Structure 1
Amino acid sequence: MTLHIGPFDEMTSIIARYAKKDGNSETAIENLHVFKGSCPTRLQHVAYKPSFSLVLQGSKRLMVGSDVHVYGAGQYVLTSLDLPVASHVTQATADVPYLCFTLFIDSEKLSDLLPRTKVSRATPPPEDSRGLVVKTAPPELIDASARLLRLLDNPDDIAAMAPLIEQEISYRLLTGPDGSRLLDMTLAESQSHKVARAVAWLRTNFAEPLRIEALADHVSMSVSSLHHHFKAVTAMTPMQYQKQLRLHEARRLLLTERVDVATAGYRVGYQSPSQFSREYGRLYGLPPLKDIDAMRGQMAAE
């Protein structure tokens, strides 16, 4: 596909100006964040929320469950529910940094838009039901994205125009090849919506013992259906998802609240410190204290 060089170069310039430092930056548009990376980064474990992210420069590698995505300029990531992911910038320099923006998707606004579109529950489902996909952005989506970013240079227009352009982007996504992924966010009876409810329960109760039967009953699914559809959407089992939530929170506790290893493990639901340290090391590549020391050293060097 040939990219529209004009709006693409313009968006790159805008993000380079508003991403004042490496990492994620909020903007004057409520749901819009910009990201800059001046060099390749180490693997980072973060949580993705329902969103549309378009890469303008550089490249990135992202892992969610058993899936691996490598993507770059002109491609976007569409996420339809909360997902723990691991990612790192793979191509970036100080002169040509990795640049992207993220627009968070509001399910209520999406529901309000549906009656004004021809999208319906009869829309054919995609070949897979993953909650995260990577695609090449079509010209219509690039054009709308450029107009949204352009508002950052015209702040007086944001209040009136940003909601309209955000709605247009949602419309382009809904009527695109992966529109049914977003549609499922709004349909209470859809399997993906039930998985999203299971995800929401796990995020709130990750420190509690996981009883699959109770979770399945909570979202009105059978145990076998929950396992099947949960893995189909998230590329993880409910147990694997819970484990990642626990370990992400434990890492935060160790880094920001400076609790000891045993306390961190206990607070996220582990009864055995040795099991906690073992599973922490499998996910992050280092035992808890060595990992935190490495992170603090990296932060001090930045």
Structure 2
Amino acid sequence: MSKPYQQQLVELARLIHPYTVNEGVNSTELPSLSLIRESDITEPIFRLNEASFCIVVQGQKEMLLGQERFQYGSGSYIVATMDLPVSGQVIEASPATPYLALKLEFTCSEILEIVQHTRLSPMSNDATRRAMYVSKTSPELLNAVIRLAQLLEGDAEDIFMLFPLFKKEILYRILKGPQGSALKQMAQEGSHTYRIRNVIEHMVTHISQPVRIEELAELANMSQASFHRHFKAVTAMSPLQFIKQLRLQEARRLLMSQAVDASEAAYQVGYESPSQFSREYSRLFGCPPMEDIKRLRGSMY
């Protein structure tokens, strides 16, 4: 890592440090931008990861998508091209040098607008890419992120005028990056990735409804065999593994945030059998639902 590049990272850390007063995720005045701080190694955190770009400024993190691990640290970034159920764990952090990261969410329409108004060539429909990847941040991309972070110190007019421009530049440079084709595929209507993304949106919004692979394949305009193959290529999971992760993570959220018992949470996310729900919950999170929630609530204090 060159000295100028290191100085860029130090400057980015300086810019975001005053806005990460709380541990965990800190919202900002900039739309779709959040800042993350952890002063110690964390346990795995399960959540639905939105379509986003996240650059690590200090520390190191590991993300698990299905059985695929992504490890990234200072000067690297991770992109999720669509909503994905993941678990993430900070693996390098300390009070003196906390884990610091900047996360920028985006939409399919924002990507499509950039592709349509530049000379970035679309990818072949046959090139099915993983919906999550890690890459090294180029100096040009890092400069764009620093300019965006400087708006944290700006006024409302600066944010209104400049934030959309700086966000567009960041997305443009990601698209030009070595793995930008995965992002192009997400926005290219008719591509396998585009159709899988539409199915995932349907699964997220209809989480409690019965899952029928033939109906999902029809929604994707694919044969069942082709749908299963491309779904796993994009998400690193089969459709049934994916919906199970979605349901269990949503059930855990309900148990933490609402006064519901395990049976009610299971019903709300589409389980007909409370015993099956409890078994699968224990397999994913390490212990039965109410024991897990008690442990999580205890760790908050």
**TM-score, scaled to structure 1:** 0.95
Q: CA deviation at 1:116?
A: 2.6
Q: CA deviation at 1:122?
A: 4.4
SS of the aligned residue for 2:300 comes to: helix
User: Which residue type is aligned with residue 144 of structure 2?
Assistant: A
SS of the aligned residue for 1:93 comes to: coil
Asked if 1:189 corresponds to 2:190, the answer is yes
Q: CA deviation at 1:209?
A: 1.2
For these two proteins, the number of residue pairs brought into alignment is 299
Aligned match of 1:79? 80
Aligned match of 2:27? 26
Q: CA deviation at 1:263?
A: 1.2
Aligned match of 1:214? 215
**Percentage of matched positions with identical amino acids:** 39
Aligned match of 2:130? 130
Aligned match of 1:268? 269
Aligned match of 1:96? 97
User: Which residue type is aligned with residue 154 of structure 2?
Assistant: N
Contact between 1:123 and 1:180, CA under 8 Å: does it hold in 2?
Answer: no
Q: CA deviation at 1:22?
A: 0.5
Which consecutive residues of structure 1, in runs of 5 or more, have no partner in the other structure?
none
Whole-angstrom distance in 1 between the partners of 2:50 and 2:254: 21
Whole-angstrom distance in 1 between the partners of 2:126 and 2:72: 24
Deviation per CA, 1:185-243: give whole Å up to 9, x if none.
22121000011011011101121111000111112111111100000000011101100
User: Which residue type is aligned with residue 197 of structure 1?
Assistant: N
Asked if 1:58 corresponds to 2:59, the answer is yes
Contact between 2:60 and 2:74, CA under 8 Å: does it hold in 1?
Answer: yes
Whole-angstrom distance in 2 between the partners of 1:175 and 1:124: 18
Whole-angstrom distance in 2 between the partners of 1:230 and 1:138: 30
Contact between 1:124 and 1:180, CA under 8 Å: does it hold in 2?
Answer: no
Aligned match of 1:139? 139
Alpha-carbon distance change, 100 to 235 in structure 1, aligned in 2, over 3 angstroms = same
> What does 1:234-253 align with in structure 2 at a 5 Å threshold?
234-253=235-254
Asked if 1:284 corresponds to 2:288, the answer is no
Aligned match of 2:122? 121
Contact between 2:46 and 2:249, CA under 8 Å: does it hold in 1?
Answer: yes
Deviation per CA, 1:4-31: give whole Å up to 9, x if none.
1222111111221101100111111101
Contact between 2:39 and 2:99, CA under 8 Å: does it hold in 1?
Answer: yes
Whole-angstrom distance in 2 between the partners of 1:263 and 1:82: 25
Whole-angstrom distance in 2 between the partners of 1:258 and 1:41: 26
Whole-angstrom distance in 1 between the partners of 2:237 and 2:253: 22
Aligned match of 1:223? 224
Contact between 1:60 and 1:70, CA under 8 Å: does it hold in 2?
Answer: yes
Whole-angstrom distance in 2 between the partners of 1:62 and 1:122: 27
Q: CA deviation at 1:125?
A: 8.1
SS of the aligned residue for 1:164 comes to: helix
Whole-angstrom distance in 2 between the partners of 1:115 and 1:71: 31
Contact between 1:125 and 1:180, CA under 8 Å: does it hold in 2?
Answer: no
Deviation per CA, 1:98-120: give whole Å up to 9, x if none.
00000111221222222331112
Which consecutive residues of structure 2, in runs of 5 or more, have no partner in the other structure?
none
